[in-house]
Structures are given as structure tokens and as C-alpha cells.
Amino acid sequence: MPKPVRERLGLDAGDGIAFEIEDDMIKIRKARHGH
């Protein structure tokens, strides 16, 4: 599993950052709505 987005933001600001942030947001939403 990739490192948390918060940590990666401080390490590198590549093109994949936006995608990882979006993916993290989806995980947070699922965690809040579901189990």
C-alpha cells in the first residue's frame, strides 16, 4: 500500500499526487458512510 497522501505531499509533488489525493478522499468518504 502507498504511503498516506499527507506524507507523500511533503516528499514529492508529482503528477500522481492529484490522483492519490482523490483516492484518499474516496477512502475517507467510504469510511465515514460505511464501515
Q: What pLDDT, on the 0 to 100 scale, is given for residue 1?
A: 56
CA distance 34 to 9: 27
Q: Where are the domains of the chain?
A: 1-30
Phi, psi of 16 (to 5 degrees): -80, -10
Which 3-state string (H, E, C) describes 1-35? Answer: CCCCHHHHHHHCCCCHHHHHHHHHHHHHHHHHHCC
pLDDT tens for residues 1-35? 566 665 665 555 565 666 777 888 889 898 988 76
What predicted TM-score, i.e. pTM, was given to this entire model? 0.39
CA distance 22 to 28: 10
